[in-house]
Amino acid sequence: MFFKPKHTTNVMLKQKISENLKFIKPKLIKPRRLFWGVPLTFLFWEICLGIIIGYLSACFFSGKETGLQGRIRSLLFSVGAWKIHFHHWLYGSIILTCLLFVKSSLPQFSFGILGGFILQGIVCYPDWHRIIIRQK
């Protein structure tokens, strides 16, 4: 017999399709893994919300461009022929580093605020890396 019945070709075709599409089938998450994922999600959103609020508040209080005075004055010190500029990202990172090494009970939201504060200082200003500047 040269021809296969129609029924067996449909079954074989369905088997080939199901074998090729095995990677698309969703896998069920075990309840234990799902339980640990929920608190981690809340932790992540707390930090993200803190970063957004820290970034926007730093945009509000700092100068709009490099060299322009913001609502809060910059920390500048003159030492001989040099001028030392403590950028807000610099003292924000010092505070964040101290808080990470000291066992504190601050919420993760406060770490996010400091992260947004640091991020804004590095991203928005082209002179973020200039800390010690020669006076003219």
Give the tens place of pLDDT for each residue, 13-59: 666 666 655 555 555 555 555 555 666 666 688 888 999 999 999 98
More confident residue, 7 or 113: 113
- Listed in sequence order, the residues at least 6 apart from 115 whose beta carbon sits closer than 8 Å to its beta carbon are 47, 50, 51, 54, 96
pLDDT in the model for residue 23:
53
Q: And the tokens for 133? A: 């500047």
Which of residues 19 and 8 earns the better pLDDT score?
A: 19
Tokens for 128, please give them: 């973020």
Report pLDDT for 131. 85
CA-based nearest residue to 117, from 69, 68, 72, 67: 72
Beta carbons of 54 and 113 less than 8 angstroms apart: yes
Looking at this protein, which amino acid is placed at residue 84?
A: I
Residue 77 forms beta bridges with which residues? 84
Around Cβ 83, how many Cβ atoms within 10 Å? 16
Side chain identity, residue 7 = H
Does the pTM of the predicted model rise above 0.85?
no
**Residue 1's CB: how many other CB atoms inside 10 A?**
4
Query: Among residues of the chain, what percentage have pLDDT more than 70?
Result: 68
* Residue 64 pLDDT greater than 70, yes or no: yes
